[in-house]
Amino acid sequence: MREGAAPYGLMPNAAMRIVNDRIAWVGSAAEHEARSGEERLDLGGRLVTPGLIDCHTHLVYAGNRANEWAMRLAGATYEEIATSGGGIVSTMDATRAADDGELLETSATRLRKLMAEGLTTVEIKSGYGLDLDTELRILRVARMLGRTPEIDVIATFLGAHAVPPEYSDNRAGYLRLLIEEMLPAVAAEGLADAVDAYCEGLAFTTAEVRAIFERARALGLPVRLHAEQFSDSGGAAMAAELGALSCDHLEYLSPEGIEAMAAAGTVAVLAPGAYYYLHETRKPPVEAIRAEGVPMAVSTDHNPGSSPMLSLLTAMNMACVLFGLTPEEALRGATVNAALALGLTDRGSIETGKLADLAVWNVQSPDELSYALGNNPCHRVYKNGIPREL
Ligand code: DI6
Ligand code: FE
């Protein structure tokens, strides 16, 4: 996954030295000089990749929405369900009613499933609380999930996910709450690494998101955006102007949006799971994104409404089959470009000085990682140089 290297940056017959939590040397096995006192591990010729990174999930919530899934299969649309009291608000009700122990336990179970496929970093958004107390509780649970040497959790504040029912005829009031109370509280407690918003007809306008993002930036928090999923609202260009780390979904992304993202170095995070579950037909403009040199990442977008999937390898497969990524682009999207989407430059590739976050696979070629659905060829994971139980 090194920049400018051969396909995948693949090195046959390679060796690696790990010192503490870092990669200290990478080269050919023939050049490797054993040092006394070092432990030597033979991985049996297996493929080693950077640990996988899921850069967009909504993992902390209560309940599920299988009932809505059945309704959609019977013909209801995502928008109809959302405007008739279901959707994000139904998960909000369940989440507000759940205590911290239940939230922690159900999300830890989901996280375990994701981690089994070689994940070493995961991003988790809030956004199913939509009041100050519950949003903070969700972020604290996300922080708790990261309080283990086994995985790094990056937390994102998504209070601007939907307008909660108590503010349905007072949008301005909810925006004030977001900007004047929630954002400063999240920043003061150090509960988020970034701020996200849902910029869509169903949720927030570009102008509303701009106001939220300007406050976030003033508080020193980077921003990223759910943009252009069902319509082109110009959100991606607005977010890129504010230096957004990523814009996510992007089915309706315009040439102007791509240009703004390219200029700002904003990552395009694809969410093929939501496209698949919602039977969308308009694909993100992958060829133009590629042509403009905008880095692409691939995520599960795990959430109970539009993408209840718990497999990043499956998202990689869908990005290839549904959106036309190459298997190499899919793997870059789940490693080095996913790290970029999170503003992290210390991981995502196998290079001297980077974190020793590694996945070891029972495959012959990295093309196999996005190939067989329902197959998890992960053999072992190293997080910060330490082997982790699968
Ligand atoms: N990501 C989101 O945040 C929304 N859709 C998406 O792809 C809403 C998720 C939900 O319906 O709960
Ligand atoms: Fe999402």
Q: Considering only CA atoms, which residue is closest to atom 4 of ligand 1?
A: 306
- For ligand 1, say whether the CB of 273 is within 6 Å of any of its atoms: no
* Ligand 2 centroid to residue 12 C-alpha, Å: 37
Most informative mutation of 95, 225, 301 for ligand 1 (most atoms within 8 A of CB): 301
Quick one: average pLDDT of 250-261? 98
pLDDT at 210 over 80: yes
Question: Relative to the CA of 158, which ligand 1 atom is closest?
Answer: 3
Quick one: average pLDDT of 189-194? 98
pLDDT at 103 over 90: yes
pLDDT at 199 over 90: yes
- For ligand 1, say whether the CB of 307 is within 6 Å of any of its atoms: yes
Q: What percent of the chain has pLDDT over 70?
A: 100
pLDDT of residue 389: 80
CB 18 within 8 Å of CB 356: yes
Quick one: average pLDDT of 339-359? 98
**Coil, strand or helix at 77:** coil
What is the spatial distance between Cα 363 and Cα 359, in angstroms, rounded to a whole number? 12
For ligand 2, a single-atom ion, the residues with CB < 5 A are 301
Output the DSSP codes for 150-213. Answer: T-EEEEEEEEET---GGGTT-HHHHHHIIIIIIHHHHHHTT--SEEEEBBSTTSB-HHHHHHHH
- For ligand 1, say whether the CB of 248 is within 6 Å of any of its atoms: no
CB 189 within 8 Å of CB 136: yes
pLDDT of residue 105: 98
pLDDT tens digits, residue range 155-188? 999 999 999 999 999 999 999 999 999 999 999 9
pLDDT tens digits, residue range 12-21? 999 999 999 9
- For ligand 1, say whether the CB of 156 is within 6 Å of any of its atoms: no
pLDDT band at 380 (very low <50, low <70, confident <90, very high): very high
Most informative mutation of 59, 91, 198 for ligand 1 (most atoms within 8 A of CB): 198
pLDDT at 207 over 80: yes
Q: For the chain, where are the alpha helices, taking DSSP H only?
A: 66-73, 78-83, 88-97, 100-115, 132-145, 171-176, 183-188, 206-218, 235-241, 255-264, 272-277, 286-291, 312-323, 327-333, 336-341
What is the spatial distance between Cα 254 and Cα 231, in angstroms, rounded to a whole number? 10
pLDDT band at 33 (very low <50, low <70, confident <90, very high): confident
* Ligand 2 centroid to residue 371 C-alpha, Å: 24
Quick one: average pLDDT of 42-59? 98
Mean of the per-residue pLDDT values for the chain? 97
pLDDT tens digits, residue range 124-164? 999 999 999 999 999 999 999 999 999 999 999 999 999 99
Strand partners, 198: 226
pLDDT at 4 over 80: no
pLDDT of residue 286: 98
pLDDT tens digits, residue range 322-338? 999 999 999 999 999 99
CB 124 within 8 Å of CB 154: yes
Q: Considering only CA atoms, which residue is closest to atom 1 of ligand 1?
A: 301
Q: Has this prediction a pTM greater than 0.75?
A: yes
pLDDT of residue 364: 94
pLDDT of residue 34: 82
